[in-house]
Amino acid sequence: MQTLYVELGDRRYPIFIGSQLKPQQLLEPYIPAKQLMIVTNTTVGELYLDDYVTAIQQLGKTVATCILPDGEKYKNIEHLNLIFDALLEAGFNRDCTVLALGGGVIGDMAGFASACFQRGVYFIQVPTTLLSQVDSSVGGKTGINHPLGKNMIGAFQQPQVVLADMSQLATLPDRELSAGLAEVIKYALLGDIEFLAWLEAHMDGLVGRDATLLAEAVYRSCAHKAAIVARDEKEQGERALLNLGHTFGHAIESYLGYGVWLHGEAVATGMVMAADLSHRMGWISAEDLARTKNIIHRANLPVACPEIPLDDFLAYMAHDKKVLDGQLRLVLLKQLGRAIITRDFDTKQMKQAILANQNERDRDYS
């Protein structure tokens, strides 16, 4: 097992990364009171819920469960209320702990519920997908979607601990694994050219679920995010770099309907658009753009989005959280391994990048 920490002063917390982790032993120091609510979904619950209920009960805790339907389309206020219902019906108080057992949707919803219930209770993340292990479980962003924009309603709620068990990835569908690799690739593109070279050397093994390689990818990704979050917890500056590809990607998700494309699939295509615009602005070369497309393609991710009317695409981008004073900010690449946040881009070139991406469907990048 490897351990790293998100350094937030007296709110410092560990991320445990390994296989066949023992939740009873690792979580005990982070459950201060007797009441614990496990929030999961129908898919993950069938696989792992009983084990976690037993482990927590053996610590002498009172355990209740809330099982939500599985899917991004349920990440809304209606289903958030089901968590509040479960907490209230169980008679839980402000000393309780909410444990998220699942992927990014469960982590975001359970975390948001823990931030709101009785104005804030303890929170634990047990991410069971690659995407949630390398991204959404770390850093405290929680929330729900709105029909006009993704993750537009939420709160910062840091967990007490994150437990990332590689053995749980064995049950992950191939498409979900690839979606997680999109966020891994993101860290390399935005801030670590050596990590990009490592991914290029080992992508076949990652796609093939080599446990050692996956653990290394998770550790390096979490280390990148933990360092940035420690410097900019509330996304006042540098943390926005972690949204590389997301402004374009969120527009795809919102237009198609949440869950039609997985978040990682939309982000992958969004990163291609961001790289294309960076190339049009003269910041990265044609070879760099091709390199970006190739590593995304090798992870079995889409490099081109479905046909979306340009006006609709731009309208959804305008609802992005990085819009400030009416101006859209984008995360673009000054070079591979160095991203910046900027308002200084040509809107015409941005439109060209979006349209060019849609026209590249069905091309072979192998």
Show which residues are catalytic.
119, 141, 183, 225, 235, 239, 243, 246, 250, 263
C-alpha separations of 211 from 14, 187, 217, 265, 272 in Å: 21, 20, 10, 22, 28
Residue 151's φ and ψ, nearest 5 degrees, are: 55, 35
| Single-letter amino acid code for the residue at 68 | L
Where do we find the tokens 């958030």? 80
Return d(Cα 288, Cα 266) in angstroms, integer.
20
What distance in Å separates the CA atoms of residue 324 and residue 120, rounded to the nearest whole number?
28
Q: Look at residues 160, 153, 201, 207 and name the one whose alpha carbon lies nearest to residue 180.
A: 207
- Neighbouring CB atoms inside 10 A of 129's CB total 28
Output the CA torsion 279→283→284→286 (10° steps): 40
**Strand, coil or helix: 281:** coil
In terms of Cα–Cα distance, which of 237, 234, 238, 360 is closest to 307?
360
Distances, alpha carbon 74 to alpha carbons 79, 217, 267, in Å: 6, 29, 20
- Residue closest to 164 by CA, chosen among 149, 191, 184, 148: 184
Neighbours of 70 (CB within 10 A): 18
The pair of structure tokens assigned to 287 is: 């070879």
Find tokens 């967990």 and name the residue.
159
DSSP letter (8 states) at residue 329: -
Kindly report the number of other CB atoms within 10 A of residue 219's CB atom: 19
